[in-house]
Structure 1
Amino acid sequence: MKKAYRLKKNEEFQLVFKKGQSFANRQLVLYFLKKKDQDHFRIGLSVSKKIGKAVTRNRIKRYMKQAFLELEDNILNEYDFIIIARQPTGDMNFFQIKKSLQHVLYKSNLLSKK
């Protein structure tokens, strides 16, 4: 994932947490904030140590990044997203994580109708 598509700074995370909206299902929590001046979305990922060791956490982050890349054409561009993984994601494969991510984005009305 390109650097331009990532949220890295704590201030950016805090802004999305404080001023944004959220939606959750059993596996993922999605925070999102509309930014008028950007031409593409940006994502920040958070996977707690409670979910597993570093290998498991990195695998989950890799799966979520890949799912965003595959859904890139359908996601509305003017948003910053923060995805927080919950406990069940430790046992999920890529397709289950992608389906869960699609569900959260769909329920939040963040998928375009393309």
Structure 2
Amino acid sequence: MKKEYRIKKNDDFSLVFKHGTSVANRQFVLYVLNKKEQDHFRLGLSVSKRIGNAVTRVRVKRLIREVFRELEDDIISSNDYVVIARKPTADMDFWEVKKSLTHVFKRAKVYIKS
């Protein structure tokens, strides 16, 4: 994922947590902050040590990034997104992650594909 598509700084995470809205299901919590002046979305990931060892956490992050890459034309692009992975994600494959994130996108009303 390109550098301009990532949220890395703690201040940026705090801004999304403080001023954004959140939607959750069993596997993910999605925070969304609308930034009209932005041309593209930015993504921040939080995968805690409770999910599993380093290999598992990196795998979960990779799956989430791939879902965002696949669905980037189907979600509102002027937002900042922070995804927090919950425990069940450790055992999920790509299609389950995609289905779960799509469900969260629809609940957050950021999914523009019908």
Task: State the secondary structure of the residue aligned to 1:81.
Answer: strand
Quote the residue 2:89 is aligned against: 89
Work out the percentage of aligned pairs sharing the same amino acid.
59
> Runs of at least 4 residues of structure 1 off by over 2 A?
none
Give unpaired runs (5+ residues) of structure 1. Answer: none
1:21 aligns with 2:9: no
Q: Contact 2:35/2:79 (CA < 8 Å) preserved in 1?
A: yes
Q: Deviations over 1:5-36 (max 9, x none)?
A: 00010000000000000000000000010001
Q: Deviations over 1:30-88 (max 9, x none)?
A: 00100011010000000000010000000000000000000011010110000000000
TM, length-normalised to structure 2: 0.98
How far apart, in 2, do the equivalents of 1:14 and 1:86 lie? Answer: 19
Quote the residue 1:104 is aligned against: 104
Task: State the secondary structure of the residue aligned to 2:73.
Answer: helix
TM, length-normalised to structure 1: 0.98
How far apart, in 2, do the equivalents of 1:106 and 1:62 lie? Answer: 21
How far apart, in 2, do the equivalents of 1:30 and 1:7 lie? Answer: 14
Give unpaired runs (5+ residues) of structure 2. Answer: none
Structure 2: which amino acid aligns with 1:21?
T
Q: What do you get for the CA RMSD once the two structures are aligned?
A: 0.8
- Size of the alignment, in residue pairs? 114
How far apart, in 2, do the equivalents of 1:56 and 1:75 lie? Answer: 26
TM alignment of 1:18-57, pairs within 5 A: 18-57=18-57
Quote the residue 1:113 is aligned against: 113
Instruction: For residue 112 of structure 1, report the CA deviation from its aligned partner.
Output: 1.2
